[in-house]
Structure 1
Amino acid sequence: MRAIEERGSGSVLVVAAIGILLVLVLAGMQIGVAGAAAHRARGAADLAALAGAGAQQQGADPCAVAERVARSNGAELVSCAPGSADSLRVRVSCPLSVSWPGVPATAVASARAGPSDATETGMPPAR
């Protein structure tokens, strides 16, 4: 009689295994999307800082140039701080294409471009 009572229990185990597998696939997908967005944000921050610092050396508005470059690379300029000696510090954010509740929806990165400065890094310049 015991075999009859356990009939169908395999189906429950298969459904549970499929559910666990689905959660793992979705988590892996979210990690991949976050990694790609972080990479895109770092690249956009680097390019925006370099373009802005170059514009600053030419006498143009570095933050306007940095914002244009960030947008053209799929990012949004969050902050822009021109420094001394033609340096520029920027912070950008890139939206994640897939996001879940409780998980950040953007990747944020910052970059600095310009000559090395002992007052900014706390270390003497390299010789």
Structure 2
Amino acid sequence: MAVLTGLREAAERLARARAARAVAVGGRGPDAGSATVWLLALAMLGTAVFAGTIAVGSVVAARHRAESAADLAALAAADRLLLDRDGGCARAAGIAAVQGAGLVSCAVDRSADAVEVVAEVEVRGLPARLPVGPARARARAGPVRAPVTGPEDAPEGGPGEAPGGAPSAAAGAAS
């Protein structure tokens, strides 16, 4: 019995010492360590926001690559529009492939002397579970034509004068 009483007294002294130490450290008691849980939750939230930002950036970058590839492919096709039987679509497909894109469609409008292409680029850098399709872009190009102006379309007084015979600001600055 004396042994049990001694053990009980030792346990009570230990409990009092722990309580006194908790008060001396800052009065924390049994809640000590909750900051760790909050810090972990904040770190997980930060990681999720960072991953979302990276995913959005990957989609935007793929869209820009698709737009660039479509623009270049349309310009290449328009350059060969009147020279090639396919209206330059083979050239457009080659340019799109060099840019890392696939040519989805190439439509030649001979009446307007224009070519419209659609290019797509796979979105990379995302987790496999996100159902994001390829980024697509459309571009249209044709030959450049300057407007035809005759003498009746020219301003009064000649090239260095504004209508009414007064010198224009550009002509005055150049003199």
Identify the TM-score tier after normalising by the shorter chain. Answer: 0.7 to 0.9
Q: Secondary structure at the match of 1:21?
A: helix
Aligned to 1:9: 34
| Further displaced range: 31-40 or 98-107 | 98-107
Given the alignment, which residue of 104, 108, 117 partners 1:78? 104
1:53 aligns with 2:78: yes
TM-score normalized by the length of structure 1: 0.80
Show the counterpart of 2:122: 95
Correspondence 1:112 to 2:137: no
Equivalent residues, number: 118
- 8 Å contact kept, 2:77–2:89: yes
Unaligned runs of 5+ in 1: 117-124
Letter in 2 for 1:9: S
What amino acid is aligned across from residue 17 of structure 1 in structure 2? Answer: L
CA RMSD, 1 decimal: 2.3
The answer to whether the 8 Å contact 2:78/2:143 transfers is no
TM-score by length of 2: 0.60
Higher relative contact order (CA 8 A, sep 6+): 1
Please name the residue that 1:66 is paired with.
Answer: 92
Alignment identity in percent?
A: 36
Deviations 1:92-127 (A, max 9, x none): 1111221243341421101011159xxxxxxxx9x9
- Report the counterpart of residue 55 of structure 2 in structure 1: 30
Alpha-carbon distance between aligned partners in 2 of 1:40 and 1:89, rounded to the nearest angstrom? 17
Larger strand proportion, structure 1 or 2?
1
Report the residue type matching 2:49 in the other structure. Answer: L
CA contact (8 A) 2:102 2:119 kept: yes
Provide, for residues 2-24 of structure 1, a one-character-per-residue CA deviation record: whole Å limited to 9, x for no partner.
94331221111111100000011
Contact 1:89 1:110 survives alignment (8 Å): yes
2:79 and 2:143 in contact (8 A); partners too:
no
**Mapped contact 1:99–1:105 kept (Cα < 8 A):** no
SS of 2:80's equivalent in the other structure is helix
For residue 74 of structure 1, report the CA deviation from its aligned partner: 0.8
Q: Distance in 1 between matches of 2:48 and 2:33?
A: 23
